[in-house]
């Protein structure tokens, strides 16, 4: 009888541990994060070719600052930006051109629940797409002029695409972006799914443009964002790619 009682207590204790673990997992996944992204152009890459024009094939996404984005918990941030000095270095550089410094708050969600943030920056560029795009997965070939094969008109921008941050065992960032040079009529594609460590500075690029990014957990119960912190990785962009640990650098495809 005593053994039965002990066994019952052990089972109950095990059940409580499982429930506690699930609750803690839910709490961790409910944590909000500050996403910070600095997009920049590589000036030395202006003579490169990329095989034509492209438009990103995007699904559901949210535009920062819209009612839908706010309702989903995606809030633009303008203060306490940890990459402000990096952005200033890029803006002052002759090798790079600052495109935009963005930051937003969002909930940490699993990959199936996470929603990409729509990125549309720079000049408006008209393109023509094929009538059927079902055969294309990430990027759709386009033309600057209409033709019998490409009659569907659509506007793109200098940088167009999306950035999606989601949680699994680790944080992940999926970047699906197209940089279009209106003068050379070339589009450079960047498609990367990157495992991220929170608080660390990460560098993703291809020969034409790139991203500096950092993700910070927001743990303040009142919802304030963390104060900007300086780290040993915050080196000037002029020394890229040595300005960041090579383990954190993820080159994009040379397209």
- List per-residue pLDDT tens for the chain, 255 residues long: 555 555 555 555 544 443 344 334 443 445 899 999 999 999 999 888 888 999 999 999 999 999 999 999 999 999 989 999 999 999 999 999 999 999 999 999 999 999 999 999 999 999 999 999 999 999 999 999 999 999 999 999 999 999 999 998 899 999 999 999 999 999 999 999 999 998 999 999 888 999 999 999 997 655 555 555 544 444 444 444 434 443 444 444 444
Is the bond into 139 cis (omega within 30 degrees of 0)? no
The Cβ of residue 31 has, within 10 Å, a number of other Cβ atoms equal to 13
CB 61 within 8 A of CB 117: yes
Q: Nearest CA to 83 among 253, 250, 243?
A: 243
How far CA 115 is from CA of 61, 118, 157, 181, in Å, comes to 6, 9, 21, 28
Taking the model in full, what pTM does it have? Answer: 0.78
CB 150 within 8 A of CB 197: no
| Cα distance between residue 96 and residue 38, in whole Å | 12
In sequence order, the 6+-apart residues with CB closer than 8 A to the CB of 143 are: 52, 53, 127, 128, 150
User: Which phi and psi (to 5°) does residue 8 adopt?
Assistant: -65, -40
pLDDT at residue number 232? 43
pLDDT at residue number 239? 43
**Domain limits of the chain?**
1-30, 31-251
Residues found in the chain:
255
pLDDT at residue number 19? 37
In sequence order, the 6+-apart residues with CB closer than 8 A to the CB of 160 are: 55, 56, 119, 120, 121, 177, 178, 180
How far CA 27 is from CA of 33, 112, 115, 171, 252, in Å, comes to 13, 18, 19, 15, 34
pLDDT at residue number 50? 80
Q: What is the CA radius of gyration of the chain?
A: 22
């Amino acid at each position: 009888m005593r053994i039965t009682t002990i066994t019952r207590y052990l089972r109950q204790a095990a059940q409580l541990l499982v429930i506690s673990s699930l609750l803690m997992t839910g709490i961790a996944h409910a944590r909000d994060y500050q996403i910070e992204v600095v997009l920049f152009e590589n000036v030395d890459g202006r003579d490169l070719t990329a095989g034509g024009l492209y438009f990103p094939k995007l699904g559901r996404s949210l535009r920062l600052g819209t009612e839908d984005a706010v309702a989903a918990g995606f809030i633009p941030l303008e203060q306490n930006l940890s990459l402000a000095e990096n952005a200033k270095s890029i803006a002052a550089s002759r090798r790079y051109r600052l495109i935009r410094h963005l930051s937003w708050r969002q909930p940490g969600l699993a990959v199936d629940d996470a929603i990409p943030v729509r990125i549309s920056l720079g000049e408006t560029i008209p393109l023509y797409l094929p009538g059927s795009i079902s055969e294309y997965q990430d990027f759709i070939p386009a033309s600057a002029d209409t033709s019998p094969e490409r009659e569907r008109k659509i506007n793109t921008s200098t940088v167009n695409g999306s950035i999606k941050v989601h949680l699994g065992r680790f944080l992940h960032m999926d970047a699906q972006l197209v940089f279009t040079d209106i003068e050379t009529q070339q589009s450079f594609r960047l498609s990367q799914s990157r495992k991220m460590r929170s608080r660390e500075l990460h560098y993703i690029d291809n020969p034409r443009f790139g991203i500096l990014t950092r993700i910070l957990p927001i743990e303040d119960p009142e919802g304030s964002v963390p104060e900007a912190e300086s780290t040993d990785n915050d080196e000037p962009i002029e020394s890229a790619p040595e300005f960041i640990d090579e383990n954190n650098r993820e080159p994009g495809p040379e397209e």
